[in-house]
Amino acid sequence: MEKIPTIKEIAKRLKVNASTVSRALHGHPSIGLVTTMRVNKVANELNYERNQTAVFFKQRKTFTIGVILPDFSDAFFSLALSGIEDYASKKNYNVFIGQSLENPDKEKGILQTMRNHRLDGIIISISKNTTDYEVFNQLKKYNIPIVFVDRIPDMEDIHYSACNLQSGMLQAIECLIAKGHRNIGLINGPWQLAASKERLEAYQKGLSDHQIDIKPEFVVYSDLSRERNQQAMDELISLAERPTAVITFNDYVARDAMGQVKTHNLVVNRDISFISFANSPIWSFTDNSPLASIEQFPKEQGVKAAEILFKLIDDRAKETPSIPGFHRVVFDSNMISHPVNFIA
């Protein structure tokens, strides 16, 4: 087996102290230029590689952050991940990624693994079924900073990057009312998600602002599965007085709901119009799109979450932390209109 070259071997060749070699390899100003060049020349000849584990130990960093997202196949979360990785790369950091697949137990297991590996920080968008937040509190005991992105737990003392959903919802209702709709339904996400509650409150405000009665039967919930999305749409269609327009939790819900409308021999965007959240790239690859989709800026949310996390990581290394309070960045959602099309 080929012997791995060490600092001691370099020192022996040059007849200097190992500490001199170490400082030269790190570019320490106390070592002259000639000595530094000689050390690096021998190191290259021996194919010497720094013991990264020792470097990590000395600097008390792993130069790795963790990212946990619900589903990488969802364009929204893949864009958020892209933003995080872009920012981490500029900081010369590696990204350890895991997907919860909307499973709280799996999410908890990934968090514990990241904690055990002492990652420098974690960014997470919680699963739709997460209701126990104790695992997040435990990370504080290990001094591992955590930043939430998009899906945020109902906790006070947290850092996060998110989107104000009210602005987009109000724009959507304004758009539909301008087109003559007054019976406007909502297919919301899981009730326990803060984002679902925010959508509902904005929906109710939008209707109230226009003196439109809020009909409880016009609001249905989905666990975001294809089957439940379709069932939710069937519930609205089966009403004696059905909605003439529907706002959906996201684009995937809209896709399933629009497909279900067609099974009832109704025409999408004529008999029932749609506006969805997320403004996913999926609409770029199909002619069957809702009237509009509400942009939530996932990549920008990811970049900002990473920016916050690295501030916390840098601050942790200081003897006297300089970051007061909690970082909370919120982007305003914005409705993006699509070309009007009728889908039979």
pLDDT 10s digits, 158-205 = 999 999 999 999 999 999 999 999 999 999 999 989 899 999 999 999
For 141-201, give the DSSP string.
HTT--EEEESS--S-SS-EEEEEEHHHHHHHHHHHHHHTT---EEEEE--TTSHHHHHHHH
State the CATH number of the domain containing residue 203: 3.40.50.2300
Do 280 and 168 lie in one domain? The reply is yes
The pLDDT-based confidence of 1 (bands split at 50, 70, 90) is very low
* Residue 43 covered by a domain: yes
Query: Which residue range(s) make up the domain with 150?
Result: 60-163+298-329
Do 288 and 310 lie in one domain? The reply is no
Average pLDDT on 78-98 reads 95
For 303-322, give the DSSP string.
HHHHHHHHHHHHHHTSSS--
**Number of domains comprising the chain:** 3
pLDDT for 344 equals 58
Do 172 and 287 lie in one domain? The reply is yes
Sign of the torsion angle spanned by Cα atoms 243, 247, 251, 253: negative
pLDDT tens string 268-314: 999 999 999 999 888 877 778 999 999 999 999 999 999 999 999 98
CA distances from 60 to 70, 110, 132, 230 (A): 30, 22, 30, 51
pLDDT for 17 equals 86
**Sequence-separated (6 or more) residues with CB below 8 Å from residue 230:** 256, 257, 259, 260
Q: How many residues does the chain have?
A: 344
DSSP 5: P
Do 206 and 267 lie in one domain? The reply is yes
Do 201 and 222 lie in one domain? The reply is yes
Phi, psi of 334 (to 5 degrees): -145, 130
pLDDT for 58 equals 53
User: What pTM, to 2 d.p., does this model score?
Assistant: 0.80
Residues 140, 134: Cα–Cα separation, whole Å? 10
Q: Which of 4, 9, 3 shows the shortest CA–CA distance to 22?
A: 9
Structure tokens at 332: 């305003």
With 80 as the cut, is the pLDDT of residue 325 above it?
no
Q: Which of 122, 120, 29 shows the shortest CA–CA distance to 67?
A: 122
Q: Which of residues 15 and 294 earns the better pLDDT score? A: 294
With 90 as the cut, is the pLDDT of residue 263 above it?
yes
Average pLDDT value over all residues in the chain: 90
Do 22 and 80 lie in one domain? The reply is no
